[in-house]
A and B are shown apart, each in its own frame.
Chain A
Amino acid sequence: MFDGLTNRLGQVFDRLKRRGALTEADVTAALREVRVALLEADVALPVVKTFIDGVREKAVGQEVLRSVTPGQMVVKLVHDHLVEILGGDAQLATGVTPPAVFLMVGLQGSGKTTTTAKLARRIARRERKKVLVASLDVYRPAAMEQLHQLAKQAEVSATPIVAGEKPLAIAARALEQARLEGFDVLLLDTAGRLTIDDELMAEVAAVRDLAKPHETLLVADAMTGQDAVTTAKNFNEKVGLTGIVLTRVDGDARGGAALSMRQVTGKPIKILGVGEKLDQIEEFDASRVAGRILGMGDVVGLVERAAEVIDKEEAEKLAAKMQKGGFDLDDMANQLRQVRKMGGLGGIMGMLPGVAKIKDQLAGAKVDENMIKRQEAIIMSMTPRERKDAKLLNASRKRRIAAGSGTTVPDINRLIKQYMEMSRVMKQMGKLGQKGIMRQGLGSLFRR
């Protein structure tokens, strides 16, 4: 139904590839796609705007043109920025002087009761604490019964139900019970409420004043649309939140509400609900949720794919140049720089069309980074004319270059020989196609 960001940025990448360099207009174009993708993921509009501004600021600060693959950077920046914003301290305040009181709030049907039982079970098992739950939902039919049944499944205690008792009175009784019976943690489940229901908002505020909770968690559905901002903002203002629980993450919603709520409240998302069963609860994972919102499960994979595509084109350009015999020492220096930048030979291999398979052959050639740096230095000590035409390099010029680059004349000779080899093999590659290279072996290119 909706295109993921992957598709959208794919189109932008195509454009970038053709142009070869990332201009400010490109950043803007890419961010426009990011904007639409975020909106389709249900991130609230004001939040989208702030987010885009944040990314743009970072993108402008970076020297995008120096990047080998500019498109890569946009994705990375967007993803990293999202992870940064989504992240936060997910620790739950269970370690306070007992009893630690948790207040669960949220809209109708968001998953409060289920999450209360899930948390109770988790804290009781993982932290070996004595946990009590109490339902303050006197409105929804069988709401208290539901929590009691779940508490039993979770093997935690529940405050007994007293017919006709008001929420505030139940809270007081539960607190009393927790203190008297030495519970470490008390979880208060509340009725679902709309933030425009002043009466019910005042009720839960009164419970908060009485119970002085260490955690007030907003339980919200991952499928929530643009309204997430209003709901989160209102609960935060009227009740005061310490964190957010995102439920139904086991669904296929993109979950933009997570970003909306995180941004508008400034409160961390602490827990994910990933199913109806009591053990289906997970710690918040910013990068997982970020990937979902962006509609790309595997950012790293995407980045790698993008890198492959873009480098291949550069390599093709290079190959075309070589075929015409136009490969000069500047091109070689360029290649060497890239080898270094990409962290080794794997990189340059990827830039040559279709030779990824013979990577292993190259690995045997034992080229180290220092050698590459030395060769770069040698080329940099040449004049532009020398770099264009290696035949100019006579004995006196070689001595000058050796002195300038802190190397020896034999080093220079080796480099020239290697350049000639490279030039020849590359020319052949053009003639013979990939098969020719395979036969010849690329190891020879970098032999010392």
Chain B
Amino acid sequence: MTGWFQRLKTGLGKTAIRLTQGIAALVTKRKLDQPMLDELEETLIQADLGVATSGKLIERLKRERFDKEVSSEEVREAFAAAAAEILAPVASKLAPDPRRKPHVVLVVGVNGSGKTTTIGKLAHRWKADGLKVMLAAGDTFRAAAVEQLQAWGQRAGVPVVAGAAGADSAGLAFEALERAKREGVDVLAIDTAGRLHNKAHLMEELAKLVRVIRKLDPSAPHDAILVLDATVGQNAHNQVEVFSKALPLTGLVVTKLDGTAKGGVLVALADAFRIPVVAIGVGESADDLRPFEAMAFARSLMGLD
């Protein structure tokens, strides 16, 4: 427990330290006036919270503290509380229901965000939980994407359904679901090729994949997870918006939070879309997937604890 939290904080630490220094430099017990609020707003923007969400947090601080003497600590506490309040309703987790035989998890996202790796990590966890797991190599496009997922399958000791390179990914998913049903699998995770949301034909391809697997199980996919890279800036809004139109998203996974990137965009996304965050990625190893905890995340982000 301490291990991962420490790790998250080391990663977030850099972010947090900078954020803290920024805020501390601005506020050392002085009267909270407009110029000061403007600068605080910039500090939040710098954490990728975006202009709208930063404005909202600043408004709140203004309401509560305007014209009062405030310290850096108080400001950070206030921001953390406000961020946690926004994040708390979206803090969630992936809970595959084995009675579905299989519970189908579809994993989507832009290129390189960490889909395949996240599936590898999930496979590990589910396997450790005693579930019967199967993976489908739905990325039939990218060079060696199949081999990459196969390597993860091998590590976790779970079967990977794969087709020929360039094969139809919807067909492959259908085939995998058929096999999973036949073999009494508890959870099936389907990897997909990275795709930029502004490419309509690629989004339609996802919609088609969903239509096709619903022929076998009208309730599938039971989870549709969008994987976001923590380094992403405001474009994350477009990603969530467009992906959620193409298929019924049930959750987000934010990866690479072990880096220097600020997880701030998550606050903005929670604020704007209210889509659950089901896990965070804090490294490249199998056990580097963590639950998302709103308060811990918010406090870490603001350099508290």
Interface positions of A from 106 to 126, Cβ below 8 Å from B: 107-111
Residues of the A chain whose Cβ atoms lie less than 8 Å from the Cβ of B50: 40
For A144, the closest partner residue in chain B by CB is: B144
Residues of the B chain whose Cβ atoms lie less than 8 Å from the Cβ of A240: none
The answer to whether A42 touches B197, judged by C-beta atoms less than 8 angstroms apart, is no
The answer to whether A253 touches B235, judged by C-beta atoms less than 8 angstroms apart, is yes
Residues of the A chain whose Cβ atoms lie less than 8 Å from the Cβ of B214: none
Residues of the B chain whose Cβ atoms lie less than 8 Å from the Cβ of A252: 196-198, 235, 238
The answer to whether A109 touches B114, judged by C-beta atoms less than 8 angstroms apart, is yes
In the assembled complex, A149 has its CB within 8 A of some CB on chain B: yes
In the assembled complex, A195 has its CB within 8 A of some CB on chain B: yes
With beta carbons under 8 angstroms apart, the residue of B147, B232, B260 that contacts A223 is: B232
In the assembled complex, B76 has its CB within 8 A of some CB on chain A: no
User: How far, in whole Å, are A145 and B143 apart by their CA atoms in the complex?
Assistant: 8
The answer to whether B233 touches A224, judged by C-beta atoms less than 8 angstroms apart, is yes
In the assembled complex, B47 has its CB within 8 A of some CB on chain A: yes
The answer to whether B284 touches A139, judged by C-beta atoms less than 8 angstroms apart, is yes
For B152, the closest partner residue in chain A by CB is: A141
Q: A142-B151, A153-B143 are in contact. Are A227 and B231 (CB under 8 A)?
A: yes
Residues of the A chain whose Cβ atoms lie less than 8 Å from the Cβ of B163: none
In the assembled complex, A445 has its CB within 8 A of some CB on chain B: no
For B42, the closest partner residue in chain A by CB is: A45
User: How far, in whole Å, are A45 and B51 apart by their CA atoms in the complex?
Assistant: 12
In the assembled complex, A350 has its CB within 8 A of some CB on chain B: no
| Chain B contact residue count (CB 8 A cutoff) | 51
Residues of the B chain whose Cβ atoms lie less than 8 Å from the Cβ of A227: 48, 231, 259-262
State how many angstroms separate the Cβ of B113 from the closest Cβ of chain A. Answer: 7
For B11, the closest partner residue in chain A by CB is: A196
Residues of the A chain whose Cβ atoms lie less than 8 Å from the Cβ of B51: 2, 36, 39-40
Q: A1-B238, A140-B148, A146-B148 are in contact. Are A221 and B198 (CB under 8 A)?
A: no
With beta carbons under 8 angstroms apart, the residue of A2, A107, A142, A253 that contacts B144 is: A142
The answer to whether A226 touches B48, judged by C-beta atoms less than 8 angstroms apart, is yes
The answer to whether A225 touches B238, judged by C-beta atoms less than 8 angstroms apart, is no
For B229, the closest partner residue in chain A by CB is: A109
* Per-position binary interface string of chain A over residues 312-350, scored 1 when its CB falls under 8 Å from any chain B CB and 0 otherwise: 000000000000000000000000000000000000000
State how many angstroms separate the Cβ of A113 from the closest Cβ of chain B. Answer: 8
Q: A1-B241, A221-B112 are in contact. Are A146 and B143 (CB under 8 A)?
A: yes
User: How far, in whole Å, are A225 and B47 apart by their CA atoms in the complex?
Assistant: 9
In the assembled complex, B45 has its CB within 8 A of some CB on chain A: yes
User: How far, in whole Å, are A110 and B14 apart by their CA atoms in the complex?
Assistant: 21
A interface SS class = loop
The answer to whether A223 touches B233, judged by C-beta atoms less than 8 angstroms apart, is yes
User: How far, in whole Å, are A80 and B42 apart by their CA atoms in the complex?
Assistant: 25
User: How far, in whole Å, are A197 and B260 apart by their CA atoms in the complex?
Assistant: 10
* Per-position binary interface string of chain B over residues 191-202, scored 1 when its CB falls under 8 Å from any chain A CB and 0 otherwise: 000101111000
In the assembled complex, B237 has its CB within 8 A of some CB on chain A: yes
User: How far, in whole Å, are A364 and B302 apart by their CA atoms in the complex?
Assistant: 70
* Per-position binary interface string of chain B over residues 17-44, scored 1 when its CB falls under 8 Å from any chain A CB and 0 otherwise: 0000000000000000000000000100
Residues of the B chain whose Cβ atoms lie less than 8 Å from the Cβ of A167: none
State how many angstroms separate the Cβ of B56 from the closest Cβ of chain A. Answer: 15
User: How far, in whole Å, are A142 and B160 apart by their CA atoms in the complex?
Assistant: 15
State how many angstroms separate the Cβ of A266 from the closest Cβ of chain B. Answer: 20
With beta carbons under 8 angstroms apart, the residue of A1, A231, A253 that contacts B233 is: A253
Residues of the B chain whose Cβ atoms lie less than 8 Å from the Cβ of A1: 237-238, 241
For B228, the closest partner residue in chain A by CB is: A223
State how many angstroms separate the Cβ of A359 from the closest Cβ of chain B. Answer: 39
Interface positions of B from 141 to 172, Cβ below 8 Å from A: 141-145, 147-148, 150-152, 155
In the assembled complex, A401 has its CB within 8 A of some CB on chain B: no
For B232, the closest partner residue in chain A by CB is: A223
In the assembled complex, A248 has its CB within 8 A of some CB on chain B: yes
In the assembled complex, B258 has its CB within 8 A of some CB on chain A: yes
Residues of the A chain whose Cβ atoms lie less than 8 Å from the Cβ of B46: 44-45, 226
* Per-position binary interface string of chain A over residues 144-187, scored 1 when its CB falls under 8 Å from any chain B CB and 0 otherwise: 01101110010000000000000000000000000000000000
The answer to whether A150 touches B143, judged by C-beta atoms less than 8 angstroms apart, is yes
In the assembled complex, B256 has its CB within 8 A of some CB on chain A: yes
The answer to whether A276 touches B148, judged by C-beta atoms less than 8 angstroms apart, is no
User: How far, in whole Å, are A109 and B155 apart by their CA atoms in the complex?
Assistant: 21
Residues of the A chain whose Cβ atoms lie less than 8 Å from the Cβ of B229: 109, 221, 223
State how many angstroms separate the Cβ of B196 from the closest Cβ of chain A. Answer: 4
CB-defined A-B contacts under 8 Å, sample of 13: A1-B237, A42-B235, A45-B46, A108-B114, A109-B114, A111-B111, A143-B148, A145-B143, A196-B260, A221-B231, A227-B259, A227-B262, A231-B231
- 8 more CB-based (< 8 A) A-B contacts, given A196-B259, A223-B232, A226-B45: A39-B45, A39-B51, A109-B229, A146-B145, A196-B10, A227-B261, A252-B196, A257-B233
Residues of B with Cβ closer than 8 Å to A? Answer: 10-11, 14, 42, 45-48, 50-51, 110-114, 120, 141-145, 147-148, 150-152, 155, 194, 196-199, 229, 231-238, 241, 256, 258-262, 264-265, 284
Residues of A with Cβ closer than 8 Å to B? Answer: 1-2, 36, 39-42, 44-45, 107-111, 139-143, 145-146, 148-150, 153, 194-196, 221, 223-228, 230-231, 234, 248, 250-254, 256-257, 276
Nearest 6 interchain pairs by C-beta: A225-B233, A109-B112, A141-B151, A42-B233, A146-B144, A142-B147
